[in-house]
Amino acid sequence: MTWGRGWNLSVQGPFVLLGFPGPRGLHAGLFLLFLVLYVLTVAGNLAIMSLVGAHRRLQTPMYFFLCNLSFLEIWFTTACVPKALATFASQSGAISFAGCAAQMYFVFSLGCTEYFLLAVMAFDRYLAICLPLRYGVIMTPGLSARLALGAWLCGFSAIAVPAALITRLSFCGSRVINHFFCDIAPWIALACSDRRVVELVFFGIAFCVILGSCFITLISYTCIIATIVRIPSAQGRHRAFSTCSSHLTVVLIWYGSTIFLHVRTSVESSLDLTKAVTVLNTVITPVLNPFIYTLRNKDVKEALRRWVQGN
């Protein structure tokens, strides 16, 4: 099969998202669950962004990065959940080649951006706790903006190469994707041309992005913990830890699910298990973040209380 013939076969006809096979009642229940979680995700993250914008006390680098995370979570879940809702409602799951490629690119670009953004937030907490007297001099608004922009640019650049390689694969057999969105692993498992290069490139990028950002986060929290344990008073230790506990909780949830999903060499192994775990970081984690930062952050709770009393 020539490359040209493979390309033509790739773009002819739609792919089909399998979703979660089962009776109509299961699809109705999943539709309702995904819809409620999606609405809560958008509303919760918009509320965080509105609180930070409306309260001067929250307009610091820490909450600037939190706004970036909230904005990212809205688009991350929007990239996959509405199509899943349409699949549950129509039970057809049809999606074009271009639509599948676009969805895959945005979901994984936003996912990579979250890794970099969480690493930036860990570095910010390191400066605030370990170098408090120099924090205001180092973490200026200009540096905060450059770090956030760098996280977004790196995230969207990292997936460009595997996305380009995937569009060159030939799909001449089954077009049923065993997932509720166009995930890379089950999609390239359908290719009838050699996909080893795509697998290796994707594994290499996942390895570098995940472990690279994890290394920065780990080093930052090692220094943070070492600084906190040297604080003489229990109240001081509690106050210092409370400034990073919300971020640490989000980091543990995010890395716990995504390391399993993306650092592996075989894309065909455990696709059903992969699909189940993906629900955690594409649907559940984005809705948890606003509650984690609201319930565990004193400043955000105080701003929320004032907003409720004011209304």
- What are the DSSP calls for 245-300, one per residue? HHHHHHHHHHHHHHHHHHS-S-SSTTHHHHHHHHHIIIIIHHHHHHHHHHHS-HHH
Average pLDDT of the residues in 146-158: 96
**Of all residues in the chain, what percent are helix, strand and coil, respectively (each to 5)?**
75, 0, 20
**CB-CB contact of 193 with 151 (8 Å):** no
Closest CA to 142 of 64, 56, 50: 64
pLDDT of residue 311: 59
**CB-CB contact of 303 with 55 (8 Å):** yes
Confidence of residue 6 (pLDDT cuts 50, 70, 90): very low
Helix or strand or coil: residue 177? strand
Tell me which residue has tokens 């984005």: 286
Confidence of residue 5 (pLDDT cuts 50, 70, 90): very low
**Sequence letter at residue 236:** G
Distance CA 52, CA 68 (A): 11
More confident residue, 7 or 187: 187
What are the DSSP E strand ranges found in the chain?
15-17, 94-95, 176-177
Distance CA 290, CA 307 (A): 16
Confidence of residue 265 (pLDDT cuts 50, 70, 90): very low
Maximum average pLDDT range among 84-98, 117-131, 179-193:
117-131
Average pLDDT of the residues in 218-234: 90
Q: Give bridge partners of residue 85 from the DSSP assignment.
A: none
For the domain spanning 3-305, the CATH number is 1.20.1070.10
**CB-CB contact of 144 with 65 (8 Å):** yes
Looking at every residue in the chain, the average pLDDT score rounds to 83
Distance CA 289, CA 286 (A): 6
Closest CA to 107 of 278, 295, 271, 254: 278
pLDDT of residue 78: 94
**CB-CB contact of 182 with 21 (8 Å):** no
- % the chain with pLDDT above 90: 34
pTM for the full predicted model: 0.86
* C-alpha Rg value of the chain to the nearest Å: 21
238, pLDDT greater than 50: yes
pLDDT of residue 25: 81
pLDDT of residue 32: 94
Q: How many other CB atoms sit within 10 Å of the CB of residue 269?
A: 11
Lowest mean pLDDT segment, chosen from 28-32, 71-75, 168-172: 168-172
Mind listing the pLDDT tens digit for each residue in 270-310? 566 677 778 877 888 888 888 887 766 777 777 777 776 66
Closest CA to 281 of 80, 63, 125: 80
Mind listing the pLDDT tens digit for each residue in 112-141? 999 999 999 999 999 999 999 999 999 999
Distance CA 302, CA 294 (A): 9
